[in-house]
A and B are shown apart, each in its own frame.
Chain A
Amino acid sequence: MSALLSDTALIFGRYARQTLRSRLQMLFGVLMPLLYLLFFGPLLTDLPLSSQGSSWQVLVPGLLLQLALFGASFCGFGIIVEKQYGVVERMRVTPVSRLALLLGRVLRDALLFVLQSALLVGAALVMGLRAPLPGILIGFAFVAVLTVALASLSYTLAMRVSTPQAFGPVINALTMPSMLLSGLMLPMSLGPRWLDVLSHFMPFRYLVDAVRAAFVGAYASPAVLYGVLVALAFAALSVIFGTRAFRRAAA
């Protein structure tokens, strides 16, 4: 157990330093949600969104999860480059814990996206967001758990492909429908019945609903409960898959 912790800390430190070396890249992930906030957010302020709270309390939770969805899904790119340098195999021949090889990386990713989320919420407060602090913190926790899940899957896929060209299109094909069907931008309850029903098969929808509930202070609502259950189950499964990818050889 202590070996797992120290291995994880070692891998986390290595990749945290890697992130710190590329400051610009650190901020890049926050750009897209920030643009939505600036140029899309103001369109919603007077619309009847049929939910509690202001339009910002509907939009910002979506943007937080959008940040995690797109950011974490593309994490695998880094490991494709590292595989080509032989760094992954050089680590895999050592006795280091395979779980730590994954966890060290995804925890770095989770920390990075939570920091970006804080930046985004800061900007949103300037734009007019008002939300209770516990709700915002719950939002950050969802960003962290979703990142752990998606980054694990992203690394799993990246361990199986040999070029970025084979990786990018798959991720794009998966993230776009996920964004649209989870109601990240606007609540699905606004849509026609069939779309609302369809979106219930998209796991991220429960996370979005949970963070929206948290942003209006409904911490003990069923929405938050379902969100927590889906997020934790998804993260646990993804970490199991991801660890297996590091245990077995890549293509």
Chain B
Amino acid sequence: MPVLSASGLARTFSSKRGPVEAVRGIDLTVESGEILGFLGPNGAGKTTTLRMLTTLLAPTGGSATVAGCDLARDPVGVRRAAGYVAQSGGVDPNVSVREELFTQARLYRLAASEARARTEELAADLGLSELLDRKTATLSGGQRRRLDVAMGLTHRPQVLFLDEPTTGLDPGSRADLWELVRRIRAEHGTTVFLTTHYLDEADALADRLVIVDKGVVVAEGTPDALKRAHAGSPDASLQDAFLAITGRSPKLSAPFEQGGTPIAAPGDPSPVAL
């Protein structure tokens, strides 16, 4: 029984130059406890899909269910079952870690005493206990990201959506975050749906990949199966498979090779320094 299924999920934006089909019909299912990598070049519709699946954006076509709740008919049910960590995170730099975690727990309708306990528990679990009384602006990139993930885990969601979770992180923090994602799944059986344009991340973390391009699913399977089918052998790189599928490489597929800082997406106000 899949924990998430979408069929024909679509979103068309209207612009001055006419309608823009950001997502043209996504069909996918995610099994409970799976780590799914949602991979695609920039502008493929990854974030738009995620925003629809988390009720932030109403679809203009198709349907989806998350943890048995229909996106259109029971958005509150979807919100209770899903956690979402946006690319830009979502904390106020002038607010303390404790206040953000407590507020998030209250937004998920935990009673004040439960919310206090959950704050301590999450902080201990994600290595934030020493930082509880610091303003979020003073956290390092890796600490900030752990806080963002903690916010998404507040209500012990069945499905955790992570939008490009390691963009802007240094290699050490990146490895830590991968470990954290694996641990969340192992300890709580949480289904993880993560978007990325880092092929090494998809290769290392995901049980299964769904590759999107121009708003539709163009391939799916385990990393090995995709390499075999599209690049000829399981020893080929995912890069080769990706190129064969989409005809182009995702932006910054290996961000640290040239020693460069990954470019923050437009609208990301706080690119994390390396």
Question: Which of B56, B57, B80, B95 has the most chain A CB atoms inside 10 A of its CB?
Answer: B56
- Tell me if A10 and B103 are in contact (CB < 8 A): yes
The stretch that binds B, out of A88-96, A141-149, A194-202, is A88-96
- Tell me if A85 and B108 are in contact (CB < 8 A): no
Q: Does B260 lie at the interface of the complex (its beta carbon under 8 Å from any beta carbon of A)?
A: no
> Main SS of chain A's interface residues?
helix
Instruction: Mark contacts of B85-116 with chain A using CB atoms, 8 A cut-off: 1 yes-contact digit, 0 otherwise.
Output: 01111111111000100011011110000000
Residues of B within 8 A of A7 (CB): 107
List A residues 72-87 near B (Cβ within 8 Å).
82, 84-87
Instruction: Mark contacts of A2-38 with chain B using CB atoms, 8 A cut-off: 1 yes-contact digit, 0 otherwise.
Output: 0100110010001001100100000000000000000
Q: A10-B107, A85-B270 are in contact. Are A92 and B56 (CB under 8 A)?
A: yes
B194 to chain A, nearest CB (A): 16
Instruction: Mark contacts of A177-204 with chain B using CB atoms, 8 A cut-off: 1 yes-contact digit, 0 otherwise.
Output: 0000000000000000000000000000
Residues of B within 8 A of A95 (CB): 76, 79-80, 107-109
Q: Which of A3, A17, A21, A86 is within 8 Å of B89, CB to CB?
A: A86
Separation of A162 and B90 alpha carbons in the complex (Å) = 16
Separation of A101 and B82 alpha carbons in the complex (Å) = 20
Residues of A within 8 A of B172 (CB): none
Residues of A within 8 A of B55 (CB): 92-93
- Tell me if B58 and A249 are in contact (CB < 8 A): yes
- Tell me if A90 and B109 are in contact (CB < 8 A): no
Separation of A115 and B151 alpha carbons in the complex (Å) = 34
B18 to chain A, nearest CB (A): 17
User: 10 pairs across A/B with beta carbons < 8 Å?
Assistant: A84-B269, A85-B269, A86-B87, A86-B89, A86-B90, A90-B151, A93-B54, A93-B82, A94-B155, A96-B107
Q: Does B185 lie at the interface of the complex (its beta carbon under 8 Å from any beta carbon of A)?
A: no
- Tell me if B79 and A94 are in contact (CB < 8 A): yes
> Which residue of chain A has its CB nearest to the CB of B136?
A85
Question: Which of A7, A86, A95, A96 has the most chain B CB atoms inside 10 A of its CB?
Answer: A86
Residues of B within 8 A of A84 (CB): 88, 267, 269
> Which residue of chain B has its CB nearest to the CB of A162?
B267
Interface size bucket, B side?
20 to 34
Q: 9 closest pairs, A vs B, by CB?
A: A90-B90, A86-B90, A86-B88, A94-B107, A249-B57, A84-B269, A93-B84, A96-B107, A95-B79
Q: Does B51 lie at the interface of the complex (its beta carbon under 8 Å from any beta carbon of A)?
A: yes
Q: A89-B86, A93-B82, A94-B107 are in contact. Are A249 and B56 (CB under 8 A)?
A: yes
- Tell me if A85 and B84 are in contact (CB < 8 A): no
Q: A92-B56, A95-B76, A249-B51 are in contact. Are A85 and B90 (CB under 8 A)?
A: yes
Residues of A within 8 A of B106 (CB): 6, 10
Q: Which of B79, B88, B89, B270 is within 8 Å of A93, CB to CB?
A: B79
- Tell me if A85 and B92 are in contact (CB < 8 A): yes
Separation of A3 and B54 alpha carbons in the complex (Å) = 21
Residues of B within 8 A of A89 (CB): 51, 56, 84, 86, 90
Separation of A22 and B76 alpha carbons in the complex (Å) = 35
Residues of B within 8 A of A87 (CB): 90-92
List B residues 155-184 near A (Cβ within 8 Å).
155
Separation of A188 and B87 alpha carbons in the complex (Å) = 53
Separation of A21 and B95 alpha carbons in the complex (Å) = 10
A209 to chain B, nearest CB (A): 41
Residues of B within 8 A of A248 (CB): 58
Residues of A within 8 A of B108 (CB): 94-95
Residues of B within 8 A of A86 (CB): 86-91
List A residues 237-251 near B (Cβ within 8 Å).
248-249
Question: Which of B89, B91, B109 has the most chain A CB atoms inside 10 A of its CB?
Answer: B109
